[in-house]
């Protein structure tokens, strides 16, 4: 039973009733209803509680401007959406919605106790209360967060799909009301590529809220005209019309982001799993038309926040768009002519208008006569000073204004169930402002409207301050023509139209930012921000306490900082501040409009980039083998590398110990394909290497390899790797896996910007080569079997050399280099042969019980030998000498970072240096990152002075004890001494400082 | 997201480029004779003006060439792009100066949000 539904009218489909629930109770509405219109049709006004005082909140608006009618949509924990505006949620069969921020129920809410103590919860409550000891904050903050809150965030994985799409166009039109439609039609007819975005499900904007019997465009009713426009646009191949699509962000160079609802409004059974739930459009437009309309402002009076108090234009929208009466007995309260039209429209539909209260001293005669003819009592130069009604407004108390910011005369008490308010209209200039255009105060509106443009855009219609339909149509057509012309479609003329409309009085509003109540200022509860419970007196308090800038007053009071972005708040707040500060509106200005215009889901912003598509993943040619052999993968840079290979019955830890032991006692093989590889050619290649590596390179002979350190100009280690000389003018450089792109960019930068005289060519060949690193006592036997007619024995093939060979006919480059200290070979083959090589190695190694080992064992093995990993044992503050690696800084020639090595700071004796640590108890494995201190007991001083920290730490199967690498202040001088490693909840661990090569000093690996 | 014109490829989206800081700083050839302070000036110190300056960009997802640009940092507007090795063009920012030295529109200056 939809008690407040009119028998006819509205753009809903009465043949398709819809059943939904709110707080568990079932209601009926029609297809085409929003949750708000359907609840109003059922006589439900109170739907929420406010953020701070838990005051009852109803429906103020009819679209995205609504501040406080927020609900939770959906019952599934992983799909539920909090803080949805009831005015935007489209209903479907089975929709479940809930009130939020109340407990145990909407009508009996414990949190409403906040409202009884409101005098003690003033503006800046947080700041004032928590200036004290931090412990207070820790205690109160969770309690307050629980009491003052909004909806519940969904939990778990989001089951829905999202997409994003990039698009270029000539003309983007934001807003599908009368101005936007005219702009889009005009531009589309010129042949320009046009995108028209409309936030709501229907094109037409304010036209949908007009009495269809009174207005005609091109001889059609407004709705017929909109349908004709829509049909024409749909036929044009150069036009994309996006409804349920909000242009929410205007960025640099006409980059505009749109959020489109694709399926939220459909019943679950009607949703297409192949399509996304929402879509993000990233539009680069040559020209933009902003036809974003205007928002009606509420009036700020004592008791203005009860359910049943609604914007006059919203009441009219519910009437004409949804066929719903927002009440039976209405008071209309206004400061402009516009709401008189709303009053007459409501009266015509059968709503009893029990009073028109107008704050202006002398409303126009024509309006007074029309009101008299309809029997509507008028209270000119008057204000509502109070309202009553716990969950819905029941009475309004009216008094005359005295013309001096006060009230006079007798109070008139009027019974009503609806107060339709209008404080004038504010152009929606958020996108314009985001585009860096400057606003201009127009005293005639009064309000802020767009000033000069900064980007290639223009505002049209109500967004530009034009409040008459005729002006909106004309401005829209002109803007469309201008945009099309400037985007390359010269000579585009504005589309023609004819408009028939009753003579509407001009809008003629005055500025009334706040209305007197006859009470003291401190006991007047006139709300400016209905979501965040900011009252006029809070803004006044902020001014008294010295917040003179709108930006500061906004933050101090949280005005307009709710999820509604203060769409109905702004100018009233600025006006109150201007009054208090005794400044003009221009001087006070506005707060900054920021993206997004309204809340956007994280899903839409993330688009496809979730789960496996979160980031690009690179895999080696041997990936499938790893996968089928129990590999646990870890991301390294963009690569997926095998971390360890678990065999049946093994844990991660036991597999790691087996791999590391086998690699030293028999033979192991590592997939090293991910190492960065750069092919370097040119007659100056050798000179170039000598400049980018800190050690000497001029004498490296063809066939030989060398380990090199790369520094930045600040002298700190940047990357390392082995580079082989293939020929006099040809080198093969390797870098760390994660540093490959960084190093290539770095080398390119120097070649292009500093050493333009050098003839050197760099090519990334990381993915051209697959690499198997074979190491261990049996490595030579395996390599001899893998390679064709190749003698890998150390006598024939010395350490740090390189040969071309074949392996089962596969062309190969074999390097004798080692990252473990064992006899090792790295066999490089063209990537497409990677798996064949790998399988050949595994077959050849079978009789030696060869093990594939992952990155974890590789880290462990190199730590046993004291080899560094750049980025783990170094952190951008470590110079070559800090690594205590001799011979890494040549004196014969300049190189990148050389001069920094003699800076006073780089030669300090107490710099942190890399050393080894052996714990007193060999079974204790230190925690990586743990702080090293100088005393056996934790010092009382906080923070405790640290000598350095542990960079790498492992349980070594080959040394049968724990080992660690650490950066320690003056570490080289501390060899043999004891240091202490801090830990939580227990005494520091004793450890001896040693050289980094554990294999050499702990020795005897079995 | 800015549009940036690569002098080799044309106008592309900012996501194709990487930024390289202040332009026209040459690596000293005589670093051995420089004091710590002089060397630190080259390694660490850069200008950070509000207004027009020259900076380096690299078209990373395109031709991978470095180039220079003159940009007004208060409005993010590019005034010129030119190849490495070419002299800095003599261009100045358009727009009226405010007391803070910023253009009236286009800048992020909150004090100039409203036309006066």
| CATH number of the domain to which B66 belongs | 3.30.2270.10
Asked whether residue A664 falls in the same domain as residue A683, the answer is no
* Vertex A200: Cα angle to A198 and A201 (nearest 5): 100
The confidence score (pLDDT) of residue A1006 equals 38
CB contact A920 to B (< 8 Å): no
Domain range spanning residue B17? 1-26+45-96
Residue A758 lies in a domain: yes
Strand extents, DSSP E, A548-687 = 631-636, 639-645, 668-671, 676-681
Q: Do B36 and A904 touch (CB under 8 A)?
A: yes
CB pairs under 8 A between A and B: 89
The confidence score (pLDDT) of residue B101 equals 53
Contacts of B63 in chain A (CB under 8 A): none
Phi-psi sector, A897: left (phi>0), alpha (psi -120 to 50), beta: left
Residues A105, A671: Cα–Cα separation, whole Å: 61
Residues A474, A290: Cα–Cα separation, whole Å: 14
**In Å, how far is B70's CA from the nearest CA of chain A?**
17
CB atoms within 10 A of CB A619: 16
Q: Is A513 strand, coil or helix? A: coil
Burial of A135 (0-12, 13-18, 19+ CB in 10 A): exposed
- Do the Cβ atoms of A85 and A70 come closer than 8 Å? yes
Domain count, chain A: 7
Residue B18 lies in a domain: yes
Nearest alpha carbon to residue A949 among A976, A904, A979, A922 = A979
ipTM computed for the complex: 0.92
CB contact A898 to B (< 8 Å): yes
Which of B18, B114, B116 to mutate to test binding with chain A, by most A CBs within 10 Å of its CB?
B114
Residues A446, A294: Cα–Cα separation, whole Å: 12
Chain A residue with the nearest C-alpha to that of B23: A753
- Do the Cβ atoms of A651 and A863 come closer than 8 Å? no
pLDDT tens sequence across A112-169: 777 776 666 667 766 666 566 666 666 666 666 555 567 888 998 899 999 999 999 9
Chain B residue with the nearest C-alpha to that of A713: B43
pLDDT tens sequence across A505-539: 778 888 899 999 999 988 999 999 999 899 999 99
The confidence score (pLDDT) of residue B108 equals 58
Q: Is B53 strand, coil or helix? A: strand
**In Å, how far is B10's CA from the nearest CA of chain A?**
15
The confidence score (pLDDT) of residue A983 equals 92
Residue B107 lies in a domain: no
Map tokens 């895999």 to a residue.
A619
Contact map slice: B 13-32 vs A, CB within 8 A: 13, 18, 20, 26-27, 31-32
Phi-psi sector, A277: left (phi>0), alpha (psi -120 to 50), beta: alpha
Contact map slice: B 29-48 vs A, CB within 8 A: 31-32, 34, 36, 39-40, 42-44
Residue B15 lies in a domain: yes
Q: Do B3 and A433 touch (CB under 8 A)?
A: no
Q: Which residues are CB-neighbours of A864 under 8 A, at least 6 positions away?
A: A664, A820, A821, A954, A956, A958, A959, A963, A998, A999
pLDDT tens sequence across A362-377: 999 999 999 999 999 9
Asked whether residue A746 falls in the same domain as residue A788, the answer is no
Residues A336, A608: Cα–Cα separation, whole Å: 48
Contacts of A716 in chain B (CB under 8 A): none
- Do the Cβ atoms of A659 and A644 come closer than 8 Å? yes
DSSP symbol at A880: G
Phi-psi sector, A187: left (phi>0), alpha (psi -120 to 50), beta: alpha
Nearest alpha carbon to residue A948 among A921, A971, A977, A975 = A971
Residue B2 lies in a domain: yes
Residues A295, A462: Cα–Cα separation, whole Å: 9
Residues A880, B36: Cα–Cα separation, whole Å: 19
**In Å, how far is A1002's CA from the nearest CA of chain B?**
42
| CATH number of the domain to which A832 belongs | 3.30.1360.120
The confidence score (pLDDT) of residue B113 equals 61
Of A835, A861, A887, the position where a domain reaches its end is A861
Q: Do B1 and A437 touch (CB under 8 A)?
A: no
Contact map slice: A 499-558 vs B, CB within 8 A: 551
Contacts of A453 in chain B (CB under 8 A): 105
Contacts of B39 in chain A (CB under 8 A): 899-900, 903
Asked whether residue A669 falls in the same domain as residue A810, the answer is yes
Asked whether residue A781 falls in the same domain as residue A647, the answer is yes
The confidence score (pLDDT) of residue A335 equals 96
Chain A residue with the nearest C-alpha to that of B44: A714
Domain range spanning residue A973? 909-1002
Contacts of A252 in chain B (CB under 8 A): 1-3, 76
Q: Do A438 and B104 touch (CB under 8 A)?
A: yes
- Do the Cβ atoms of A501 and A470 come closer than 8 Å? yes
**In Å, how far is A670's CA from the nearest CA of chain B?**
32
- Do the Cβ atoms of A642 and A837 come closer than 8 Å? no
How many C-alpha atoms does B16 have within 13 Å on its Cβ side? Answer: 16
* Alpha carbon A28 to chain centroid, angstroms: 37
Q: How far apart are the first and last CA of chain B?
A: 29
Contacts of B18 in chain A (CB under 8 A): 745
Q: Do A448 and B114 touch (CB under 8 A)?
A: yes
Map tokens 């145990």 to a residue.
A104
CB atoms within 10 A of CB A377: 15
Contact map slice: A 79-138 vs B, CB within 8 A: none
Residue B86 lies in a domain: yes
DSSP secondary structure of A841-909: HHHHHGGGT-EE--HHHHHHHHHHHT---TTTT--SS--GGGGT-TT-S-SSS--TTTGGGGSTTTT-T
The confidence score (pLDDT) of residue A1005 equals 43
The confidence score (pLDDT) of residue A342 equals 95
CB atoms within 10 A of CB A756: 10
Residue A199 in tokens = 């936030």
- Do the Cβ atoms of A517 and A526 come closer than 8 Å? yes
- Do the Cβ atoms of B58 and B20 come closer than 8 Å? yes
Q: Do B40 and A898 touch (CB under 8 A)?
A: no
CB contact B94 to A (< 8 Å): no
Map tokens 């965040």 to a residue.
A532
DSSP symbol at A343: H
Contacts of B113 in chain A (CB under 8 A): 433, 438-439, 589-590, 592
**What does R_g of chain A's alpha carbons equal in angstroms?**
37
Asked whether residue A127 falls in the same domain as residue A3, the answer is yes
Contacts of B1 in chain A (CB under 8 A): 251-253, 255
| CATH number of the domain to which A971 belongs | 2.40.30.110
Asked whether residue A313 falls in the same domain as residue A441, the answer is no
Q: Which residues are CB-neighbours of A168 under 8 A, at least 6 positions away?
A: A193, A283, A284, A285
Residues A737, A726: Cα–Cα separation, whole Å: 22
Residue B103 lies in a domain: no
Residues A547, A539: Cα–Cα separation, whole Å: 9
Residue B72 lies in a domain: yes
| CATH number of the domain to which A724 belongs | 3.30.70.1400
pLDDT, averaged across chain A = 93
pLDDT at B77 over 70: yes
Give the global pTM.
Answer: 0.91
The stretches in chain A having pLDDT less than 50 are 1005-1006
Proportion of chain A above pLDDT 90, given as a percent? 83
The beta-carbon neighbor of B31 closest among A433, A436, A899 is: A899
pLDDT tens sequence across A861-900: 999 999 999 999 999 999 999 999 888 999 889 999 999 9
Domain count, chain B: 1
The confidence score (pLDDT) of residue A138 equals 64
Of A132, A159, A186, the position where a domain reaches its end is A159
Contacts of B58 in chain A (CB under 8 A): 745, 748-749
Asked whether residue A548 falls in the same domain as residue A647, the answer is no
Contacts of A894 in chain B (CB under 8 A): 31-32
CB atoms within 10 A of CB A653: 12
The confidence score (pLDDT) of residue B96 equals 45
Asked whether residue A278 falls in the same domain as residue A341, the answer is no
| Dihedral sign (CA A465, A467, A469, A474) | negative
Nearest alpha carbon to residue A197 among A259, A250, A253 = A259
Q: Which residues are CB-neighbours of A844 under 8 A, at least 6 positions away?
A: A782, A785, A786, A850
Contacts of B13 in chain A (CB under 8 A): 284
């Amino acid at each position: 039973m939809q008690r407040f539904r009119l028998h006819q009218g509205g753009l809903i489909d009465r043949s398709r009733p819809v059943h939904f629930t709110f707080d568990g109770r079932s209601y009926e509405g029609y297809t085409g209803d929003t949750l708000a219109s359907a609840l109003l049709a059922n006589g439900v006004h109170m739907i929420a509680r406010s953020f701070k005082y838990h005051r009852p909140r109803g429906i103020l608006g009819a679209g995205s401007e609504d501040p406080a009618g927020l609900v939770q949509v959906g019952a599934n924990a992983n799909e539920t959406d909090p803080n949805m505006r009831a005015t935007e949620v489209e209903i479907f069969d089975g929709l479940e919605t809930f009130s939020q921020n109340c407990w145990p129920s909407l009508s009996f809410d414990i949190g409403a106790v906040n409202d009884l103590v409101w005098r003690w919860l003033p503006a800046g409550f947080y700041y004032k209360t928590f200036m004290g000891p931090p412990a207070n904050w820790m205690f109160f903050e969770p309690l307050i967060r629980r009491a003052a809150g909004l909806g519940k965030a969904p939990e778990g994985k989001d089951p829905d799909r999202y997409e994003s799409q990039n698009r270029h166009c000539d003309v983007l039109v934001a807003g599908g009301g009368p101005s936007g439609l005219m702009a889009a039609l005009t531009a589309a007819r010129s042949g320009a590529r046009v995108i028209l975005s409309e936030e709501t499900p229907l094109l037409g904007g304010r036209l949908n809220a007009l009495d269809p019997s009174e207005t005609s465009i091109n001889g059609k009713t407004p709705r017929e005209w909109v349908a004709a426009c829509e049909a024409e646009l749909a036929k044009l191949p150069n036009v994309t019309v996006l409804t349920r699509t909000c242009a929410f962000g205007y960025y640099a160079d006409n980059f505009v982001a749109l959020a489109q609802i694709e399926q939220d409004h459909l019943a679950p059974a009607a949703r297409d799993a192949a399509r996304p739930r929402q879509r993000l459009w990233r539009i680069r437009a040559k020209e933009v038309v902003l036809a974003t309309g205007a928002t009606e402002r509420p009036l700020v009076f004592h008791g203005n926040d009860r359910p049943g108090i609604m914007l006059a234009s919203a009441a009219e929208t519910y009437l004409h768009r949804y066929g719903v009466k927002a009440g039976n007995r209405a008071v209309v309260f206004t400061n402009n002519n516009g709401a008189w039209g709303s009053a007459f429209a409501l009266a015509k539909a059968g709503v009893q208008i029990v009073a028109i209260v107008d704050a202006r001293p002398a409303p126009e005669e024509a309006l007074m006569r029309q009101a008299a003819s309809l029997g509507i009592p008028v209270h000119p130069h008057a204000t509502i000073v109070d309202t009553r009604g716990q969950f819905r407004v029941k009475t309004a108390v009216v008094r005359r204004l005295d013309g001096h910011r006060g009230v006079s005369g007798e109070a008139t008490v009027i019974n009503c169930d609806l107060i339709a308010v209008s404080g004038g209209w504010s152009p929606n200039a958020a996108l314009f402002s985001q585009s860096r255009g400057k606003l201009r105060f127009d005293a005639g509106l009064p309000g802020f409207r767009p000033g000069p443009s900064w980007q290639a855009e223009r505002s049209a219609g109500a967004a530009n301050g034009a409040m008459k339909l005729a002006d909106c149509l004309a401005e829209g057509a002109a803007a469309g023509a201008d945009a099309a012309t400037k985007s390359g479609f010269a000579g585009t003329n504005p589309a023609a139209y004819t408009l028939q409309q009753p003579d509407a009085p001009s809008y003629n509003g005055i500025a009334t930012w706040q209305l007197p109540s006859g009470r003291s200022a401190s006991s007047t509860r006139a709300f400016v921000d209905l979501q965040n419970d900011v009252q006029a007196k809070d803004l006044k308090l902020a001014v008294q306490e010295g917040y003179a800038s709108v930006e500061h007053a906004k933050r101090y009071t949280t005005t307009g900082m709710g999820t509604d972005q203060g769409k109905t708040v702004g100018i009233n707040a600025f006006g109150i501040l201007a009054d208090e500060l005794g400044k003009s509106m221009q001087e006070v200005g506005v707060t900054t409009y920021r993206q997004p215009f309204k809340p956007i889901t994280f899903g839409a912003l993330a688009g496809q980039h979730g789960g496996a598509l979160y980031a690009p993943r690179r895999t080696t040619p041997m990936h499938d083998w790893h996968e089928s052999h129990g590999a646990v993968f870890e991301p390294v840079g963009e690569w997926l590398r095998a971390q360890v290979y678990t065999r049946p019955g093994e844990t991660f830890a036991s597999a790691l110990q087996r791999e590391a032991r086998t690699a030293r006692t028999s033979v192991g093989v590592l997939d090293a394909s991910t190492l960065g590889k750069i092919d370097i050619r040119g007659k100056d290649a050798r000179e170039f290497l000598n400049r980018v590596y800190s050690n000497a390179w001029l004498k490296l002979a063809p066939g030989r390899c060398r380990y090199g350190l790369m520094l930045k100009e600040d002298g700190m280690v940047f990357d390392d790797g082995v580079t082989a000389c293939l020929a006099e003018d040809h080198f093969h450089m390797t870098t760390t896996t994660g540093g490959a792109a960084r190093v290539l960019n770095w080398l390119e930068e120097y070649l292009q910007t500093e050493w333009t005289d050098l003839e050197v060519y760099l090519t990334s060949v990381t993915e051209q080569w697959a690499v198997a690193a074979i190491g261990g006592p049996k490595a030579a036997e395996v390599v001899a079997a893998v390679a064709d007619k190749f003698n890998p024995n150390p006598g024939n093939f010395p350490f740090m050399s390189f040969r071309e060979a074949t392996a089962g006919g596969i062309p190969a480059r074999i390097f004798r280099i080692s990252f473990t200290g064992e006899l090792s070979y790295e066999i490089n083959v063209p990537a497409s042969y990677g798996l064949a090589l790998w399988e050949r190695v595994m077959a050849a190694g079978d009789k030696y019980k060869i093990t594939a080992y992952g990155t974890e064992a590789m880290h462990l093995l190199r730590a046993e030998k004291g080899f560094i990993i750049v980025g783990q044992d170094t952190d951008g503050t470590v110079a070559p000498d800090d690594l205590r690696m001799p011979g890494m800084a040549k004196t014969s020639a300049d190189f990148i970072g050389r001069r920094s090595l003699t800076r006073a700071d780089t030669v300090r004796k107490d710099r942190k240096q890399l050393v080894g640590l052996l714990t007193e108890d060999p079974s204790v494995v230190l925690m990586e990152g743990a702080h090293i201190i100088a005393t056996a007991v934790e010092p009382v001083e906080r923070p405790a002075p640290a000598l350095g920290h542990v960079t790498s730490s492992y349980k070594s199967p080959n040394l049968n004890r724990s080992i660690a690498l650490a950066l320690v202040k003056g570490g080289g001088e501390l060899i043999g001494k004891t240091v202490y490693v801090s830990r939580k909840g227990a005494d520091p661990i004793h450890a001896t400082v040693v050289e980094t090569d554990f294999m050499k000093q702990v020795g005897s690996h079995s | 997201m800015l549009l940036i014109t690569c002098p080799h490829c044309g106008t592309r989206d900012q996501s194709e480029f990487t930024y390289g800081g202040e332009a026209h700083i040459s690596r000293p050839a005589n670093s051995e004779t420089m004091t710590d302070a002089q060397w630190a000036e080259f390694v660490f110190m850069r200008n950070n003006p509000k207004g027009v300056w020259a900076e380096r960009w690299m078209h990373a997802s395109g031709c991978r060439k470095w180039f220079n640009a003159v940009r007004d940092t208060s409005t993010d507007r590019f005034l010129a792009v030119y190849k490495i090795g070419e002299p800095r063009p003599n261009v100045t920012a358009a727009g009226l100066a405010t007391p803070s030295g910023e253009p009236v529109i286009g800048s992020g200056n909150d004090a100039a949000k409203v036309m006066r």
